[in-house]
Structure formats: structure tokens, C-alpha cells
């Protein structure tokens, strides 16, 4: 644990649980502590003197995937209502969507207050998530009232502030900040990055998804939290929250099939199923592909659009804007390209897959996957100047942005420069 700069609160590094023999016991202890501290942070909302409501902003990364949206909606539903829409002594729904009553026990008389909870994401939100309850309440930063400043900003599934996009301004303006994430952080980053340790943070790089982390936090708080703490989170998971979290867990772990999955992922799934999430229906819904997406994937599998190098160990492909228009990808770039990456990873002898996606304004998005722990893909940005390439992610799945417009060359040249580094620095076997 690392103290915040104020010396009052603690940031919790779940990764420490994996460094000693007593892993299960310490892991549970750290998540119990994370749950209690998180609840205290998010529940400290005394009534304003002028009667106005305190504001909570829930933010996640731009170009969101199922985990980012699932975590956002999961927390929103936990703050919004109790299971089956019933109210409790600790949380009472207000007439307007997103408004909840929060309580904090001071040790004497509890201070009752109200808070507006708002979900913010720059988008675009994948259409396949539109069935989730509450998703229509997610707002883009430009849809917020002028001068909107939250009292508390909760950031979910974001490896660094730049991934917030236009939401970064809102995060910077908040007086209290909470950061929950499962991306890879080096020990030096954890100890030295001021932006990370200057706020309440919970980091677990071994978790398969941010939704997995929230499942553990909600479970341990409802089970172990002191009854003297009056919190909006002192309740069981409700069905809407469990479904949203289960969607994110499935999306980021491949239905518990990918290598980032571990026994704690299964524990999270058990928690969500007990709360009403139907894993079978969720798996069927995610597995269904439109005919347009099937043709899109087939283009990269069958039409020689993918290039194999390093004796078939490295495969890469390029998605240009004209192809995005041709196949009608629209806002589905993230899930459709994820399907392409997954299919290419299944080719025998392939160790790494790289996809370059042409974005507007002379920017290229790089999505990269590795099939093996000994072939990490999370640290290639360090070989480039920051004005040319930025990004990070997981050891076996990362994303980068290449800003090539000022250099006077296109996506193919940018891809070749990046691939030269990958082939030189990648630990292929």
C-alpha cells in the first residue's frame, strides 16, 4: 500500500498479493480494504449549504470496449438502485435518472446528502451494447452543461489520463479522484508516477477485466464492511449491475477462455451469476455476428489482406478508412477488429498479431496481441519519441497511437516503422 500525498488515504496495489506465498489470503485482505476505502471515498457527500446536489462523474476510456462500458454501467446501477428497484435504508432513488441519496456516518449524527451520478464517455459506443439497461444515459463530454465540474471523478479501465480523450478536462477539474484499473504498471511507475499515487487508486494487473475488479469490490464490501459506514454500496449486487459487469468480464476475457483469466475471474463470475446475470444468454449474444461483420472478418482471413513474417510467427494487416466505409463498420471498429485479431491468433505457429487502423487527422491506431507471456507487447512506445507514438496496455494485449501526419507519410510507412521495432525488439522464438 502507498499513502496518498495527503497522508490520509491509501492507494492499494493488489499486485502485491501475487509476490508472496500467502497469495489467496493477502489478495482477499487487500480487496476487503479496497472495498471499504472505495466506499468511504465515494460516499462522502454532505448536503451543500445552498441545497445543490453533489456530483459524481463516472469516466472510462475513449473508443470504449465491453469492459469499459460494463464497468461504467455496473457502478452506475449500484449507485442508482437496489435489487429489483427496491429502495433501502442506505440508498433511496430520486425521480430523475442518475440521482441517488448517499449517507455518511460521522460517528455522531449522519449527514444526509444528495448526489447526481453521471456517466461520461467520448465514444463511439459499440452498437452491440445498446441492449444494456441505462446505456442511453451515457453522455459525451460535449453534451454536459457548460462549466460542469464534478465533486468526485471515478475513472474505470483507463491505463493513463490521455485515454480519457475529451473527458480528461472533467477528470482534472474534480476535487476528489478515484482510479480503478487492471492494466499493466511497472513497480517504478507505481512508486513514481505522481498522477497515480495522488488519488485513491486500486490496481490489479492480474485481473482479467475491470469489471472483475468491481465484482470483487462489491462482494467484499457487502460482506465485510462495518455497519457503522452508511454507504450507497452497502447492498447486494442488483441484476442490472451484475449483467453489465458480466458483459465486461466476458468481453475482456473471451468468455473466460483467454490467458489473462484465472481463478479470481471465476470467483467474479460466480458473484455475478448469484446476482442474476445470465452467463449463457450473455455468451450467446456476444457470439452472434452480423453478416456484414462476417464478410469483414473473411476479408482479412481469406483475401490475402494479412501479411505473415518471421516464418509465420508475426502476422499484420492494415485497415484503411475506405475499407471501414466499404464494409459499413461505423462505430463497430473495436469489436469487429477484435474478432479479426482473435481469428488470426488461432493460426498455427502465430505468436503475435498486429493491426493498423487508419483514423482521421493522420493518426493510426495500432492493436497488438501476443499468444505467449514470454512475448510481451506493452512496451514498444518507449522506442519512439512521444510526439510520434504513445500507448500501453496489458502484457499480451496493448494499443498504440501513431501520429504520422506531421512527418509527411501515410499509414503504410507508419506501419513499417512500427513493425521494424517489433521485429527487432520482439522476443520471438
The H or E element containing residue 368 is strand 363-370
User: Taking all residues of the chain, what is their mean pLDDT, rounded to a whole number?
Assistant: 78
Distances (CA, A) of 9 to 16, 27, 40, 178: 18, 19, 10, 11
Most confident of 58-72, 118-132, 254-268: 58-72
User: How high is the pLDDT of residue 45?
Assistant: 53
How many Cβ atoms from other residues are within 10 Å of residue 83's Cβ?
17
Span 237-262, average pLDDT: 89
Instruction: Return the CATH number at 389.
Output: 3.10.310.30
What whole-number distance in Å separates Cα of residue 222 and Cα of residue 235? 6
Question: 363-370 and 397-403: which strand pairing?
Answer: antiparallel
What whole-number distance in Å separates Cα of residue 71 and Cα of residue 235? 17
Distances (CA, A) of 102 to 91, 93, 158, 232: 6, 10, 26, 6
Number of domains in the chain: 2
User: How many residues does the structure list for the chain?
Assistant: 429
Which of 78-82, 207-211, 416-420 is predicted least confidently?
78-82
Same domain for 181 and 303, yes or no, is no
Counting other chains too, the contacts that 5-8 makes at CB distance below 8 Å and 24 or more residues apart are 5/194, 5/197, 5/198
Same domain for 245 and 220, yes or no, is yes
Same domain for 134 and 271, yes or no, is yes
| Boundaries of domain holding 376 | 291-425
Instruction: Return the CATH number at 139.
Output: 3.90.1640.10
Burial (CB < 10 A; 0-12, 13-18, 19+), residue 272, is buried
pLDDT digits over 353-398, tens only?
999 999 888 889 999 999 988 999 988 988 998 888 888 778 888 8
Of 377, 364, 368, give the one whose Cα is nearest residue 324. 364
Same domain for 92 and 218, yes or no, is yes
DSSP letter string, 305-333: -EEEETTTTEEEEEE-HHHHHHTT-TT-H
Same domain for 146 and 92, yes or no, is yes
Distances (CA, A) of 351 to 305, 310, 341, 347, 381: 18, 10, 12, 9, 20
Same domain for 356 and 255, yes or no, is no
Same domain for 37 and 180, yes or no, is yes
Same domain for 146 and 202, yes or no, is yes
Question: 314-319 and 2-3: which strand pairing?
Answer: unpaired
Span 237-260, average pLDDT: 89
* Residue 317's pLDDT band (cuts 50, 70, 90): very high
What whole-number distance in Å separates Cα of residue 281 and Cα of residue 246? 11
The residue from 269, 285, 301 where one domain ends is 285
What whole-number distance in Å separates Cα of residue 325 and Cα of residue 322? 5
The residue from 255, 285, 315 where one domain ends is 285
Same domain for 278 and 355, yes or no, is no
Same domain for 153 and 99, yes or no, is yes
Same domain for 151 and 102, yes or no, is yes
Per the model's pLDDT, the better-predicted residue between 176 and 423 turns out to be: 423
pLDDT digits over 47-94, tens only?
555 666 778 899 999 889 999 999 999 999 988 753 234 333 233 332
The residue from 230, 253, 285 where one domain ends is 285
User: How high is the pLDDT of residue 88?
Assistant: 30
What whole-number distance in Å separates Cα of residue 392 and Cα of residue 133? 31
Of 107, 77, 56, give the one whose Cα is nearest residue 226. 107
User: How high is the pLDDT of residue 248?
Assistant: 95
Distances (CA, A) of 405 to 82, 278, 316: 50, 46, 21
Same domain for 255 and 361, yes or no, is no
Residue 95 has pLDDT above 90, yes or no: no
Percentage of the chain modeled with pLDDT above 90: 31
Amino acid at each position: 500500500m502507498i499513502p496518498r500525498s495527503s497522508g490520509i488515504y491509501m492507494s492499494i496495489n493488489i499486485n502485491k498479493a501475487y509476490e508472496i506465498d500467502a497469495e489467496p489470503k493477502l489478495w482477499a485482505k487487500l480487496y476487503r480494504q479496497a472495498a471499504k476505502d472505495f466506499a468511504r471515498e465515494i460516499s462522502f457527500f454532505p448536503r451543500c449549504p445552498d441545497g445543490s446536489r453533489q456530483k459524481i462523474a463516472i469516466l472510462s476510456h475513449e473508443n470504449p470496449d465491453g469492459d469499459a462500458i460494463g464497468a461504467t454501467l455496473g457502478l452506475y446501477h449500484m449507485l442508482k438502485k437496489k435489487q429489483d428497484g427496491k429502495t433501502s435504508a442506505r440508498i433511496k432513488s430520486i425521480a430523475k435518472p442518475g440521482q441517488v441519496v448517499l449517507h455518511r456516518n460521522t460517528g455522531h449524527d449522519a449527514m444526509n446528502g444528495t448526489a447526481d451520478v453521471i456517466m461520461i464517455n467520448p465514444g463511439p459506443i459499440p452498437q452491440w451494447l445498446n441492449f444494456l439497461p441505462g446505456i442511453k444515459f451515457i453522455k459525451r463530454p460535449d453534451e454536459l452543461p457548460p462549466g460542469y465540474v464534478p465533486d468526485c471523478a471515478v475513472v474505470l479501465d483507463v491505463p493513463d489520463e490521455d485515454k480519457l480523450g475529451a473527458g480528461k478536462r472533467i477528470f482534472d477539474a474534480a476535487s476528489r479522484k478515484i482510479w480503478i484499473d487492471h492494466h499493466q504498471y511497472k513497480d517504478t511507475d507505481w512508486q513514481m508516477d505522481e498522477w497515480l499515487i495522488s488519488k485513491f487508486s486500486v490496481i490489479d494487473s492480474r485481473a482479467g477485466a475491470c469489471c472483475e475488479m468491481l465484482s470483487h469490490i462489491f462482494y467484499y464490501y457487502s460482506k465485510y464492511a462495518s455497519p457503522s459506514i452508511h454507504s450507497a454500496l452497502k447492498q447486494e449486487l442488483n441484476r442490472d449491475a451484475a449483467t453489465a459487469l458480466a458483459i465486461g468480464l466476458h468481453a475482456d476475457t473471451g468468455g473466460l477462455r483467454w490467458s489473462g483469466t484465472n481463478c479470481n475471474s471465476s470467483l467474479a463470475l460466480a458473484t455475478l451469476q448469484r446476482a442474476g446475470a445470465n452467463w449463457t444468454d450473455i455468451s450467446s449474444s456476444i457470439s452472434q455476428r452480423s453478416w456484414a461483420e462476417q464478410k469483414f472478418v473473411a476479408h482479412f482471413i481469406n483475401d490475402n489482406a494479412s501479411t505473415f513474417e518471421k516464418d509465420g510467427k508475426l502476422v499484420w494487416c492494415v485497415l484503411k478508412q475506405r475499407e471501414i466505409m466499404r464494409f459499413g463498420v461505423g462505430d463497430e471498429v473495436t469489436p469487429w477488429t477484435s474478432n479479426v485479431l482473435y481469428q488470426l491468433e488461432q493460426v498455427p505457429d502465430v505468436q503475435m498479431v498486429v493491426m493498423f487502423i487508419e483514423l482521421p487527422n493522420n493518426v493510426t491506431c495500432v492493436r497488438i496481441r501476443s499468444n505467449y507471456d514470454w512475448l510481451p507487447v506493452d512496451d514498444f512506445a518507449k522506442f519512439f519519441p512521444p510526439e510520434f507514438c504513445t500507448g500501453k496496455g496489458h502484457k499480451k494485449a496493448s494499443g498504440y497511437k501513431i501520429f504520422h501526419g506531421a512527418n509527411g507519410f501515410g499509414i503504410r510507412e507508419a506501419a513499417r516503422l512500427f513493425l521494424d521495432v517489433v521485429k527487432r525488439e520482439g522476443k520471438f522464438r
